[in-house]
């Protein structure tokens, strides 16, 4: 169920809140933008009368309200301290992002959402906090804390996604893992993290759109025998490989650029954890891809209602074609 037309106003104020936070010249203005963003996203979650959606909206509201309270309280300490309020603001923004060690709410909220709301939570809702964190990255101490949070995000996102059958939780822990790369990029350059964020948002758009069209929320839904289309299996597999950053797919390009930046900044230890976590995430992506190709074979299919090979809609191909740019145009060679 997509957002009804009457909810366009809330979507507009959601984007407006992010813009206010990004363009604000004070922490009070950033807090106002984050509050507007929060109060606009709650109606988008509760788009229909559903106990799971209501529970997810309540959890999201409580966590974000706690973060907003700490953020506005930290601003009172600027008259007496310098490092302490900035540190508290950084921890608050990490809480709003769902970054470890404050990640406990993110997979639970994601599990109660439908795919359109999950897309917004994974992409647009990260824009304002990441921008505010990039403003804090000018301090050497806060920069080290950001890199520490990025390392924890890489480890948590990789290990947390193992042995899961829920696609929404897999996407949630994948988002936590990609958040580690974006946090490191904020300490390097604003251009790098925004480029990574843009590529990641488009990749999540393609994969969530496909899951929404299939109404797949678990591995069993995804590989059920009446969805045996080779075109769907190929597109889902390519999307996951691009999301994991396997060359030559498009998702490899921002990681490749950020690896070079981290090597130039001598961030060898965080880079080791980020690369190791990428290998682990590739493992649980392959746990989804391999059954797709096994079950697409009609000789192994126990459902007699086998559907012939068919092609997806033009809109679906357009949204997923972004992941294939790296296949046909090796950008990483041009950017070397």
DSSP 65-85: HHHHHHHHHHGGGGGT-SHHH
Contact 68, 30 (CB under 8 A): no
Average pLDDT in the 180-192 region?
87
Instruction: Work out the burial of residue 49: count CB atoms within 10 Å of its CB; fewer than 13 is exposed, 13-18 middle, 19 or more buried.
Output: exposed
Beta bridge partners of 218: 166
Q: Reduced to 3 DSSP states, what percent helix, strand and coil does the chain have, rounded to the nearest 5? A: 80, 0, 20
Which pLDDT band holds residue 60 (cuts at 50, 70, 90)? very high
Cα dihedral across residues 285, 291, 294, 298: positive or negative: negative
More confident residue, 141 or 226: 141
Which pLDDT band holds residue 34 (cuts at 50, 70, 90)? very high
| CA–CA gap between residue 68 and residue 63 (Å, rounded) | 9
Q: What is the dihedral of CA 215, 162, 99, 63, to 10 degrees?
A: 60
Q: Measure Cα distances from 130 to 41, 201, 284 in Å.
A: 17, 14, 27
The reported pLDDT for the residue numbered 303 is 47
Task: Decide if pLDDT at 222 tops 90.
Answer: no
Find all residues with CB under 8 Å of 239, minimum gap 6, and list them.
Answer: 203, 206, 207, 210, 320, 323
Domain count, the chain: 1
**Which structural domain, as residue segments, surrounds residue 260?**
5-334
Element (H, E) at 116: helix 115-122
Of the chain, the percentage scoring pLDDT greater than 90 comes to 28
Task: Decide if pLDDT at 164 tops 60.
Answer: yes
Condensed to tens digits (0 to 9), the pLDDT of residues 315-334 reads 666 666 666 666 665 554 55
Of 79-88, 127-136, 171-180, 265-274, the range with the lowest mean pLDDT is 79-88
Of 47-51, 119-123, 205-209, 217-221, the range with the lowest mean pLDDT is 47-51
Note the pTM of the prediction, 2 decimals: 0.87
- From the CB of residue 279, how many other CB atoms can be counted at a distance below 10 Å? 10
Any idea what the Cα angle at residue 94 is, between residues 52 and 155, rounded to 5°?
85
The reported pLDDT for the residue numbered 294 is 72
Q: How far is CA 324 from the centre of its chain?
A: 20
The reported pLDDT for the residue numbered 179 is 92
The reported pLDDT for the residue numbered 284 is 84
Considering only CA atoms, which of 290, 298, 320 is closest in space to residue 209?
320
The reported pLDDT for the residue numbered 316 is 62
Condensed to tens digits (0 to 9), the pLDDT of residues 231-290 reads 777 888 888 888 888 887 888 888 888 998 889 888 899 999 999 999 999 888 888 888
Contact 167, 217 (CB under 8 A): yes
Any idea what the Cα angle at residue 114 is, between residues 110 and 117, rounded to 5°?
75
The reported pLDDT for the residue numbered 151 is 93
| CA–CA gap between residue 34 and residue 13 (Å, rounded) | 11
Average pLDDT in the 44-66 region?
86
The whole-chain average pLDDT of the chain stands at: 82
| CA–CA gap between residue 91 and residue 100 (Å, rounded) | 10
Find all residues with CB under 8 Å of 71, minimum gap 6, and list them.
Answer: 27, 30, 31, 34, 88, 89, 92, 93
Average pLDDT in the 220-235 region?
69
């Amino acid at each position: 169920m997509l957002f009804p037309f009457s909810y366009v106003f809330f979507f507009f104020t959601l984007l407006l809140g992010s813009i206010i936070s990004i363009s604000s010249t004070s922490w009070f203005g950033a807090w106002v933008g984050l509050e507007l963003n929060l109060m606009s996203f709650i109606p988008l979650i509760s788009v229909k009368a559903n106990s799971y959606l209501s529970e997810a909206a309540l959890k999201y509201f409580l966590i974000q309200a706690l973060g907003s309270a700490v953020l506005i309280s930290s601003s009172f300490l600027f008259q007496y301290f310098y490092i302490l309020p900035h540190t508290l603001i950084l921890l608050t923004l990490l809480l709003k992002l769902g970054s470890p060690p404050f990640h406990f709410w993110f997979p639970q909220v994601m599990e109660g959402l439908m795919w359109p709301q999950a897309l917004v939570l994974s992409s647009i809702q990260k824009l304002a906090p990441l921008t505010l964190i990039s403003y804090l990255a000018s301090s050497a101490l806060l920069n080290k804390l950001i890199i520490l949070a990025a390392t924890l995000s890489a480890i948590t996102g990789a290990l947390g996604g193992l042995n899961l059958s829920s696609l929404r939780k897999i996407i949630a822990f994948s988002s936590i893992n990609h958040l580690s790369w974006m946090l490191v990029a904020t300490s390097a350059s604003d251009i790098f993290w925004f480029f990574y964020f843009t590529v990641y948002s488009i990749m999540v758009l393609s994969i969530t759109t496909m899951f929404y069209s299939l109404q797949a929320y678990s591995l069993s839904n995804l590989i059920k025998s009446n969805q045996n289309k080779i075109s769907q299996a190929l597109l889902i597999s390519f999307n996951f490989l691009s999301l994991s950053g396997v060359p030559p797919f498009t998702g490899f390009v921002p990681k490749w650029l950020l690896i070079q930046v981290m090597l130039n900044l001598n961030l060898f230890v965080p880079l080791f954890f980020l690369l190791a976590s990428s290998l682990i995430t590739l493992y649980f992506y392959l746990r989804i891809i391999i059954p797709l190709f096994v079950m697409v074979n009609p000789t192994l299919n126990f459902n007699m209602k086998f559907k012939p090979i068919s092609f997806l809609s033009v809109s679906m191909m357009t949204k997923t074609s972004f992941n294939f740019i790296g296949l046909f145009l090796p950008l990483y060679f041009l950017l070397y």
